[in-house]
Structure 1
Amino acid sequence: MIGKPKERAGRRRAFQMVGLGLILFGCFIRVLDPYPVRIARLTYFDILQRLSPREYNPDLPVRVVDIDEQSLANWGQWPWPRTLLAEMVKNLGEYGAAAIAFDMLFVEPDRFSPSRLLNDPALADILTVKRHAAKLDNDVLFGLEIANWPVVLGAAARPTLEGRPVTPMAGIIEIGESPASGLVSVPNWTPPAPPLDQTAAGIGGVNVSPLGGMGIIRRVPILWGGPDGTLPGLGLEALRVALGESVIIAEGAQDEAGIMLAIEVGDFRLPTTENGEVWVRYRRDNPNLYLSANDIMQATDNPNLRAEIEGRIILVGTSAAGLFDMHQTALGESVPGVSIHAQLLEQILTGEMLSRSDVTAALELLSFVSLGIVVTVVMSRFGAVASFVAGGVSAAVVLASSWMAFQNQLVLFDVTFPLLGGMANFGLLAGYLFISTEREKRAIRQTFSHYVAPEILDEMERSGHQLQLGGETQEITVMFSDIRGFTPLSETVSATDLVTLLNQLFSKIGDQILRERGTIDKFIGDAVMAFWNAPVPVEDHPCRAASAALLMREALVDFNASAVMKGRPPIALATGCATGQACVGNIGSKSRFNYTVIGDVVNVAARIEQSCRHVDYDILVSCAVYENTRNVMAMLEAGYVDLKGRTDLEPVYVLVGGQETLDAPAFQKLEATHKKIIAAIRNRQPHDQIEDMCADCVAQAQHIEPGLRRFYSALPGRAADFRSDTQSNQLIFSHQESESKPSA
């Protein structure tokens, strides 16, 4: 009993070690951060934004001039002559724009310039212009115009190493250990064509994702690294120009190089990722953000347009489908790239910046570890169901914390890895527990199979037999079998050898009981108790019990002839069987009980087994067993015996053999002689005559069942057990005894 708690504690520790191993493995996976883990995290962040997108604020000083389909239809296909763009810049400047940023490239010289048209051999003989107009260059005119206004031009990342240098207009002040060294970098830039790169107030990168980036735009580089130094993104550069600032401050870590923490422009501070990116806090695309370029190009002064443009940062871009500047946002929308720059500016101005730091990642890992510990500890102690509930509650807390952090602090806290990792741990641990439980179940089944036949175990599993305190009354057959001569045997061997001998004997005997679908109740010293028809029904249970007794007799013969009994006196068994009503079930305390039987039939079977010595035969059965098996078992009347604790005498029968013995002519002859003996005893014939008939039966029994010889040798001395007057006298005595007792 002491070993059981230690064994359970050992299994629990082993289970917990498996859980700890899974937690450590999960931590290793999270540190590696493979693609499935990353994409699950980003998808969850998209879901957060879709559940609670940012609201559009029309009062924010950001607008987009959209070169839409109507503008292209009215002013011609793209690219427009830069004289038209100069007119647009002039109109926007006169409307009071704080900054004008072009989300487009002016890489090549304007092909509509008169000087370029006259240089075209195909057009030289066709076109005629005045001499002073022959040298007109639209790029010069455009450059002269943008020099008058706060204009920001765009530069695009170039994947090759070939390209012209770009000169950033913004000064970059780095604080910390070279934070700009860890920025998203590009091999080269495609800057604006001369002289535009010299006359613009600012130059910013138009890309909204690193080179090779595809799919959903979630983070936008706010500063870029390149061969010519650090270049701000288009939105940040537009903000700098609008504020009239000359420098941008890049704040980095003090103790580690290449780690960007934040960007400062004027009074605005933007927390960034370590490589200088900003998480975009998206809102639904709103048409109120856009102004049509067609309206801007009109020469008349429009008060409504002035109200929309004056004092605002104006981003010029295109939503025309043919110009291929559409990107997908975390909200699932396809918007022009200029819209993403505008949204980034809006959240800078409002301070609604999404943040995600190393501390957040550490807390996510801690959540995973905590969930894993909860699942492991609870499952090891209380099972999978309790672990599922505890894990579910813990997961709900983590999920709620993530939502509140996003809603209130704009912190991106990933729950996918803690939850999915916790679910994976739960599944693997549940599988381990299932395998472990199945292994223990098989071990328990193997152990229980020593008490119950395998067929009965199968039926119990199919019927869903439940072990619970209590029982029910039903008819059963009970067997008691005791070793004869056990005391002399125990005096000749040591206690250890005696236990070994008993184990081998009971194994032989128990196998025969289980073979006949019996249930071994208990081993009581040198005796065994078994019963039939429980816990599952056995229709022919009296016959099964009788057959088991006969098989035990045969097994005992083999056991006595075995090497273990060499040099020792043979062992004999005394077996008694009785059929009757009994309470069958789990009997004991609520915390510990045994599946057993209680009832008068148990006492009857035990007393019948004790009567084997009086009858001088090894197997006796009750009258109920006889009545149920008389047509298939060879049995002979053994008279009435006095059972201790019972008032009435009990008729018993010796069990000689099975159906084969019953049908044998020799047994039928013996049975006829046996009946004559019983009749002679009851008719009080001379004792010598009864002895002669018994001697005849002894001779016949030699070829039927040798054990009957002792039975018939003792029969003449038991004549009183067969006489009816003995029974009547016993009944009269019992009646007088009951009358002599005082009434209650």
Structure 2
Amino acid sequence: MTGKPKERTGRRRAFQLVGLGLILFGCFIRVLDPYPVRMTRMIYFDLLQRISPRDYNPDLPVRVVDIDEQSLANWGQWPWPRTLLAQMVKNLGEYGAASIAFDMLFVEPDRFSPARLLKDPSLAGVVSVDHQASKLDNDVLFALEVANWPVVLGAAARQSGDGRAITPHAGIIEIGEAPTAGLVSVPHWTPPAPPLDRSAAGIGGVNVSPLGGMGIIRRVPVLWGGPDGALPGLGIEALRVALGEPVIIAEGTPDEAGIMLAVEIGEFRLPTTENGEIWVRYRRDNPDLYLSADEIMQEPDNPALRAEIEGRIILVGTSAAGLFDMHQTALGESVPGVSIHAQILEQILTGEMMSRSDVTAALELLSFVTLGIVVTAVMARFGAVASFVAGGASAAVVLAISWLAFQNQLILFDVTFPLMGGMANFGLLAGYLFISTEREKRVIRQIFSHYVAPEILDEMEGAGHQLQLGGETQEITVMFSDIRGFTPLSESVSATDLVTLLNQLFSQIGDQILLERGTIDKFIGDAVMAFWNAPLPVEDHPRRAAQAALLMRQALVGFNASDVMKGQPPIALATGCATGRACVGNIGSKRRFNYTVIGDVVNVAARIEQSCRHVDYDILVSCSVYEKTRQDMAMLEAGFVDLKGRTDLEPVFVLVGDRTMLNTPAFQRLEATHKVLIEAIRDRKPSDQIEMICEDCIAQARQIEPGLLNFYGALSGRAADFRSDFQSSQLIFSHHDREPTPTA
């Protein structure tokens, strides 16, 4: 009794160890954070923003001057002469722009400057200007205008090291242990051409992703690391200039170098990643953000334009298709790069800054571990279905926490790894449970196959039979088979040898029962009980039971000739079969029950088996079996027997052979002679006449079934069994015709 609980505990512990191993392996994968894990996390963060994007607020002091297709059509192809850009700066300044940031590069001198045109060999002798005009330089004119207003020019990252160094205009104050040491690094910058770099109020990086970066723009550095020190991004520098702040504060950790926590510009604090990036909180692109450069280039004093520009940060960029400055956002839109800078400024001004810290990552890992423990613990105790429900409920809680954290605090809490990791753990554990269950199922099937035929097992599994207390009444055929002379045999061998002998004997005769789709109910000492037509229907079950009895007789011959029976007297079996209605089902207590049968037919079969000694034949069947198998089995009437516990006498029949024997001329002659013998006994013919007929039967039986010799030898002493006063009422069939008599 204690072995099974210990075995179950051991299996459960092994299962829990497997679950723990999977959890530890998942933690290892999360720490490594391979590309598929990172990308899945990013896609989930994109999904959060797509479900709940930021709203556009037209009152925010940020606008974009767009060099659009209309502007190019009216003012010429790009690049424009710097004189036009100077006019644009002047107009924006007079409209009251708080700062003007160009999301474009002025790397080369203006090719439209008169001084450069005169030096062009291809234009020599074609272009002529007076002496004063020959000294005009558009870059100088542009620089003079830039110096009059709060203008921020852009610098771009590059791979080559040629060119001049760049001097940031913003002072960087570092708090902590060298926080700028871990910034996203730029190999080299492409600064504005002189004298523009000296006249601008600020210089910022125009890049929205690291050099060579492609795809969706999710994070943008607010500070870039470069060979000449930290350089702010274009939008951040535009904000600094608009606020009139001389410095940007970079906040890091006091005990670890190269870790950025936040950037402060005036009253604004921007939480960053450890390498100085911020997560962009996107909104849908809105045309109200843009002002056409064509309108700006017109004459000033436009009240509507002044209302849009005055006191606002103005970013100058382009959406023209041929200028290739389009990027994809987390919302799935393609927008100009200048729009991303504008959206960064908007979220800074509104304080809608998304954040994700090491604490958040640790909580994600804790969520994964918790889900893994829930799945493992519940599955180990209650199975896969309960584990799926519990894991699903836990996953829903984690998903709700992630959504609420994003909606209320703009915290990016990743649920993909906890959920997908939990699903992977569930799948692997369910697979492990399935394999172990299948292994146990095979063991149980192997054990149960000793009781029912394999094909019946297949049908039971396919039909999904459930084991529960109770039963149903139906027609079955019951067999009892007992070893004759068991007591002398048990006295001649040791108990161990006797068990070995019985096991081998029952294995051989049990196989014959299963072969004929029978169900072995139990082994009772030296006897076996079996039944047919349950737990699943078995066609012609009386015939199959009779056939199994014949096969058992054949198997016994081989067993008596085997090595295990050397030196032992041959074993004989007494077998009785009966067909009738009985209650079939699981009978016992709620904790322990047996699948068995209860009914009068069970007692009849048992008593018929006991009558084999009286009849002196090894296989007897009831009248009901005879009725249902008389067309398929070779049987002979054996008279009426008194069954213990029953008032009425029971007609029985000896089972001689199967259909093959039934159709042989030899058996048909014996059957006819046997009928004559029985009629002579019933008609009380002279004993010498009966003896003569009996001798004739014995002579014929010798060639058919030697076991009949003892049967006929004892027949003369059993004359009363054939002369019963009840026999006319008991027999409901004709012994002269093999066709069954119709019944109501």
CA distance in 1, matches of 2:590, 2:501: 35
CA distance in 2, matches of 1:136, 1:184: 41
Is the Cα–Cα contact under 8 Å of residues 649 and 726 in structure 2 kept in the other structure?
no
Alignment correspondent of 1:161: 161
Is the Cα–Cα contact under 8 Å of residues 480 and 605 in structure 2 kept in the other structure?
yes
How far did residue 152 of structure 1 move? Answer: 1.0
Residue type of the partner of 1:446? Q
CA distance in 1, matches of 2:618, 2:68: 110
Residue type of the partner of 1:105? L
Alignment correspondent of 1:561: 561
Alignment correspondent of 1:507: 507
Alignment correspondent of 1:633: 633
Is the Cα–Cα contact under 8 Å of residues 617 and 711 in structure 1 kept in the other structure?
yes
How far did residue 694 of structure 1 move? Answer: 4.2
- Larger mean CA deviation between 123-132 and 144-153 belongs to 123-132
CA distance in 2, matches of 1:156, 1:265: 22
CA distance in 2, matches of 1:177, 1:567: 97
In structure 2, do the counterparts of structure 1 residues 80 and 564 end up closer, same or farther at CA, with 3 Å as the change threshold?
A: same
How far did residue 314 of structure 1 move? Answer: 1.4
Deviations 1:587-631 (A, max 9, x none): 334444322222111110011111112222211111111222223
Residue type of the partner of 2:559? F
How far did residue 274 of structure 1 move? Answer: 0.9
Alignment of structure 1 residues 195-594 onto 2, 5 Å:
195-594=195-594
- Larger mean CA deviation between 333-342 and 416-425 belongs to 416-425
Alignment correspondent of 2:144: 144
CA distance in 2, matches of 1:575, 1:467: 30
How far did residue 645 of structure 1 move? Answer: 1.2
Identity, in percent, stands at 85
Alignment correspondent of 1:38: 38
Alignment correspondent of 1:186: 186
How far did residue 71 of structure 1 move? Answer: 2.0
Alignment of structure 1 residues 667-678 onto 2, 5 Å:
667-678=667-678
Name the SS of the counterpart of 1:29 in structure 2: helix
CA distance in 1, matches of 2:726, 2:144: 143
Alignment correspondent of 1:741: none
Name the SS of the counterpart of 1:374 in structure 2: helix
Residue type of the partner of 2:96? G
Q: Aligned pair 1:134/2:149, yes or no?
A: no
How far did residue 335 of structure 1 move? Answer: 1.3
In structure 2, do the counterparts of structure 1 residues 654 and 303 end up closer, same or farther at CA, with 3 Å as the change threshold?
A: same
Alignment correspondent of 1:733: none
Name the SS of the counterpart of 1:217 in structure 2: coil
Is the Cα–Cα contact under 8 Å of residues 65 and 292 in structure 1 kept in the other structure?
yes
How far did residue 358 of structure 1 move? Answer: 1.3
Name the SS of the counterpart of 1:422 in structure 2: helix
Alignment correspondent of 2:48: 48
CA distance in 1, matches of 2:632, 2:120: 122
Name the SS of the counterpart of 1:559 in structure 2: helix
In structure 2, do the counterparts of structure 1 residues 584 and 252 end up closer, same or farther at CA, with 3 Å as the change threshold?
A: same
How far did residue 462 of structure 1 move? Answer: 4.2
CA distance in 2, matches of 1:659, 1:306: 113
In structure 2, do the counterparts of structure 1 residues 486 and 86 end up closer, same or farther at CA, with 3 Å as the change threshold?
A: same
Residue type of the partner of 1:620? L
Deviations 1:85-142 (A, max 9, x none): 2222222222222211111111011111111111122323222322222211111122
Is the Cα–Cα contact under 8 Å of residues 103 and 234 in structure 1 kept in the other structure?
yes
CA distance in 2, matches of 1:104, 1:197: 13
How far did residue 524 of structure 1 move? Answer: 1.4
Name the SS of the counterpart of 2:230 in structure 1: strand
CA distance in 2, matches of 1:131, 1:214: 50
Deviations 1:534-564 (A, max 9, x none): 2232222222111111111111121111111
- Larger mean CA deviation between 454-463 and 251-260 belongs to 454-463
CA distance in 1, matches of 2:17, 2:436: 14
Residue type of the partner of 1:104? M
Residue type of the partner of 1:511? D
How far did residue 728 of structure 1 move? Answer: 9.5
Is the Cα–Cα contact under 8 Å of residues 155 and 203 in structure 2 kept in the other structure?
yes
Deviations 1:162-184 (A, max 9, x none): 23210111111112221111111
CA distance in 2, matches of 1:671, 1:122: 132
How far did residue 8 of structure 1 move? Answer: 3.1
Deviations 1:279-299 (A, max 9, x none): 000111122222222222223
CA distance in 2, matches of 1:670, 1:284: 102
Aligned length: 730
In structure 2, do the counterparts of structure 1 residues 673 and 123 end up closer, same or farther at CA, with 3 Å as the change threshold?
A: closer
Name the SS of the counterpart of 1:501 in structure 2: helix
Name the SS of the counterpart of 1:134 in structure 2: helix
Is the Cα–Cα contact under 8 Å of residues 159 and 188 in structure 1 kept in the other structure?
yes
- Larger mean CA deviation between 403-412 and 132-141 belongs to 132-141
How far did residue 463 of structure 1 move? Answer: 4.2
CA distance in 2, matches of 1:133, 1:647: 143
- Larger mean CA deviation between 102-111 and 80-89 belongs to 80-89
CA distance in 2, matches of 1:488, 1:617: 20
Name the SS of the counterpart of 2:714 in structure 1: helix
CA distance in 2, matches of 1:160, 1:7: 70
CA distance in 1, matches of 2:84, 2:666: 131
TM-score normalised over the length of structure 2 = 0.94
Name the SS of the counterpart of 1:131 in structure 2: coil
CA distance in 2, matches of 1:82, 1:299: 18
- Larger mean CA deviation between 488-497 and 311-320 belongs to 488-497
How far did residue 692 of structure 1 move? Answer: 5.6
Alignment correspondent of 1:596: 596
How far did residue 220 of structure 1 move? Answer: 0.4
How far did residue 699 of structure 1 move? Answer: 4.9
CA distance in 1, matches of 2:728, 2:103: 123
Q: CA RMSD in A?
A: 2.2
Structure 2: gaps (5+ residues): 731-744
Alignment correspondent of 1:717: 717
Name the SS of the counterpart of 1:301 in structure 2: coil
How far did residue 337 of structure 1 move? Answer: 0.9
Alignment correspondent of 1:737: none
Deviations 1:431-470 (A, max 9, x none): 3333333333333322222111223233334444444433
- Larger mean CA deviation between 70-79 and 188-197 belongs to 70-79
Is the Cα–Cα contact under 8 Å of residues 720 and 726 in structure 1 kept in the other structure?
no
CA distance in 2, matches of 1:667, 1:313: 116
- Larger mean CA deviation between 384-393 and 657-666 belongs to 657-666
Is the Cα–Cα contact under 8 Å of residues 640 and 724 in structure 2 kept in the other structure?
no
CA distance in 1, matches of 2:692, 2:70: 134
CA distance in 2, matches of 1:432, 1:443: 17
Is the Cα–Cα contact under 8 Å of residues 104 and 317 in structure 1 kept in the other structure?
yes
Residue type of the partner of 2:438? E
Alignment correspondent of 2:740: none
Name the SS of the counterpart of 1:724 in structure 2: coil
CA distance in 2, matches of 1:230, 1:726: 119
Is the Cα–Cα contact under 8 Å of residues 223 and 276 in structure 1 kept in the other structure?
yes
TM-score normalised over the length of structure 1 = 0.94
Deviations 1:296-341 (A, max 9, x none): 2223312222222222211111122221111111111111111111
How far did residue 643 of structure 1 move? Answer: 0.8
- Larger mean CA deviation between 573-582 and 450-459 belongs to 450-459
Name the SS of the counterpart of 2:471 in structure 1: strand
Residue type of the partner of 2:487? T
Residue type of the partner of 2:417? F
Deviations 1:507-551 (A, max 9, x none): 010011111221111111211111112223222222211111111
